[in-house]
Amino acid sequence: MSGLDEIKAAASFGGGLGVTLYFLRWLVNWITGRLDKRAAQLDAEHASLDGSWKGYRLTLEQRVARLEGQNRALSVCFQHVSAALIRIDPANPALQRAEQIMAAAFPMDFSLAVQRAGAALDAED
């Protein structure tokens, strides 16, 4: 082989290697670019979902707080009305039904039962 043929072979080998390396670099950049785009899209979707869930949670917390306040108000109102009714008619069946409903819906408040029992005992004397 002559020197020129060796130069041609070396040049073609170097050129082929260069093209191959360039193609591999392009392929890696293309794949990582797609992965970066996908990661950016997922981050945007997660941010959107986080925002909507925070809004949803805030709405639920506000509703629960409002309902808890209403439940406390209803319980206090029932205690006041039932205390007045206990003084007038301690054996009233409506009062007994209301106490049963309240006991099922709310934890039992024994102060009403004690007042009612005391009023019933006082009425018998």
Q: What does the pLDDT read at residue 108?
A: 62
Q: What does the pLDDT read at residue 54?
A: 93
Note the pTM of the prediction, 2 decimals.
0.49
CA-to-CA separations, 44 to 19, 31, 48, in angstroms, rounded:
37, 20, 6
- Is the pLDDT at 32 greater than 80? The verdict is yes
In the chain, the number of structural domains is 1
- Is the pLDDT at 64 greater than 90? The verdict is yes
Mean pLDDT, range 14-20, rounded to an integer: 81
Give residue 53's identity as a one-letter amino acid code.
Answer: W
DSSP string, 61-89: HHHHHHHHHHHHHHHHHHHHHHHHHHHH-
Distance from CA of residue 50 to its chain's centroid?
10
Q: What does the pLDDT read at residue 45?
A: 92
**How far apart, in whole angstroms, are the C-alpha atoms of residue 47 and residue 40?**
11
* pLDDT, tens digit, 9 for 90 and up, residues 103-117: 888 776 666 666 767
User: Domain range spanning residue 118?
Assistant: 3-124
